[in-house]
Amino acid sequence: MTRRTFVLVLAMTPGIGGKTISRILARNDLLNRTPEEFLALSPEAKKEDYRLSAKSCAALNRSLAQIEETARNVEDRLDRHGVSLVTLADAHYPQQIEQFDPDPPGALYLFGNAKLLNVSTFSVMSSRNTTPGGLDLMERLAEQGVFNSEVLVAGDKTPEYERTAVVPLRWGSPRILCLDRGLFHALGEDLSQETFRAARLWRYQFDDKTDLAISPFKPDAHFVGVNNQVRDRLIASISRRIDFVEVMPGGNMDRLARMALKAGRQVRVSDRAPLHKALETLGAQIITE
């Protein structure tokens, strides 16, 4: 069994997420233990040596053949489109994510132009229910970054992200899209559909030769409530520079701004943000309209 197939077997097992996968891989590497040797361990050994839950151990013990068949089917679908899978236990896991986030995603599915992870990236972020004036500013800041030959990192499914994510399309520039669900659920079975309708004014299909889509969720995973926070942290961690427009005190964007400053990222905050003065004292630059 290849390492990639083994990772997908673990990913398809109930109760095993990205961080557990990375822990299993790291311990196997330390003990020079093969995937087959791990899978042959007793449920008690898996619980004691790898801290797996009783639910996960029972699934691997009872339904391994079915789980492996599902994993190989998913692997065939991923391979068909050239999707790569990287875990925290891999040497090529993006360093900028680990440098930013003390609790990074354990596994990432990458589809498209992975070279974009090594260029100058930026994002424009704002709290929910951003005002019309704030949305206009987000669009202008995104355009400035694109004109400066930087690559935009954005999400989708919110008015704030959609307002910025269409900007690179107008100018034929690349972008990185961080998803809040699995690749197949977001981009369709053939990984070709754009994630929001407005994008289709400039591009009918997702272009994997130009853009990069990243998901920290299983390929067929649907959206659940906490996914948006995972997505936001991923966007911020990939961005070398982050512009914040409207930031509510104590909210998710406030936390991300402080994390970014602590990680040494360039942070700019609009004077529209109620706490822009507080962030300025921490090292943020102020954007004055």
Question: What are the extents of the domains in the chain?
Answer: 3-80, 111-287
pLDDT at 155: 94
**Torsion sign (Cα): 261, 267, 271, 272:** negative
Fold classification of 111-287 (topology level): Rossmann fold (3.40.50)
pLDDT at 202: 81
pLDDT at 289: 76
pLDDT at 186: 94
- Give me the helix-helix angle, 3-11 and 18-31, nearest 10°: 140
In angstroms, rounded to a whole number, what is the distance separating the alpha carbons of residues 241 and 265?
A: 6
Short-list 80, 81, 88, CA closest to 7: 88
- The burial class, CB within 10 Å (0-12 / 13-18 / 19+), for 118 is exposed
Helix (H), strand (E) counts: the chain = 14, 9
Low-confidence ranges of the chain (pLDDT < 70): none
pLDDT at 276: 92
What distance, in Å, lies between the first and last C-alpha atoms of the chain? 57
Residue 187 and residue 170 in contact, taking contact as beta carbons nearer than 8 Å: no
Residue labelled with tokens 């930013």: 100
pTM for the full predicted model: 0.93
Tens digit of each residue's pLDDT (9 = 90 or more) over 133-183: 999 999 999 999 999 999 999 998 899 999 999 999 999 999 999 999 999
Residue 5 and residue 75 in contact, taking contact as beta carbons nearer than 8 Å: yes
pLDDT at 178: 97
